Amino acid sequence: MKSTVIIYVISDAIGETAQHLIRASTAQFTLEGGADIRRHAFVRDEEALLEILEEARKADAIIVQTLVQKRLGSISSDYCAQHGMPCIDLVSNLTAAIEQKTGQQSKEDPGNMRRLDQHYFDRIAAIEFAVKYDDCKDPRGLLEADIVLIGISRTSKTPLSSYLANQNYKVANVPLVPEVPIPTELTQIPRNRIIGLTNSPEKLSAIRKVRLKSIGLDETSSYSSENRILEELNYGYRIFKQLGCRIIQVEDKAIEETAALIIEKVK
């Protein structure tokens, strides 16, 4: 029984969609050697495609393709069928279904999804916003934010801000520290735009110890002590109650999962 799989991603664009789906699927298996994902992007001619397919055949690999150009998709599918290679086509069936429903023909333009449109520029602006107003560097940004994340140290405020920015949300975040009063701007925002983030004392202690070690400080610092963490958590809950905001427990949640919950609550 194989404990390692080799998967070739063949795309005439970037190929990141296929890579995300592969990771979701391989996460359901115990693969001792992991999944060896070999991504080949911007494959737009037959010669290059056949070279990759031959290489994949020798590696005994699975093919996952996102080729919007039907000719290349057919070449790849036929090659795999001829050589008994598993081939998963993530594009052709859906494209054919849409063509049938709409009566239109696919443009077969690999770069069409990534044109520099307004959505793209809005995302860049949201990313710049998240960087500018991270850790409440300028509290005035709280008034402009779509979402404001608040919580004590190590509750994933910054990574969540970055992830949500990539979803086109302008996000600011505020660290809650008992010795530091919250900015007045925080009390001027509609409470549905504020999300309180929290974590368990045990998880916070473990994360903070790792953080201290990574920057060369003593792991037994008060920053990671049980008493200090409980003090901060209690303070955080008092602020959450004062603001009347929704609360999300981030323990053991992936960033994507927490982000989805935030978007749901804000909407």
First to last CA, the chain: 47
Check the annotation: does 76 bind a ligand: no
* 182 assigned ligand-binding residue: no
Question: Is residue 211 marked as binding?
Answer: no
Token pair 């959505």 is found at: 119
| Residue 158 known to bind ligand | yes
Query: Nearest 5°: CA angle at 133, between 127 and 219?
Result: 105
- State which H helix or E strand residue 76 sits in: helix 70-82
- Is 171:193 a contact under the CB 8 Å cutoff? no
3-state secondary structure of 72: helix
Torsions phi, psi of 165, nearest 5? -60, -35
Is residue 6 annotated as involved in ligand binding? Answer: no
Cα 235 from Cα 144, distance rounded (Å): 26
- 25 labeled part of a ligand binding site: no
- Residue 155 annotated as lining a ligand binding site: yes
- The answer to the question of whether 62 is labelled as a binding residue is no
Distance between CA atoms of 49 and 53, rounded to whole angstroms? 6
Burial class of residue 218, CB neighbours in 10 A (0-12, 13-18, 19+)? exposed
| Distance between CA atoms of residues 57 and 39, nearest Å | 15
Whether 66 contacts 91, CB under 8 Å: yes
CB neighbours of residue 259 within 10 Å: 24
* Residues placed in the known binding site: 151-158
* Residues placed in the known binding site for ADP: 151-158
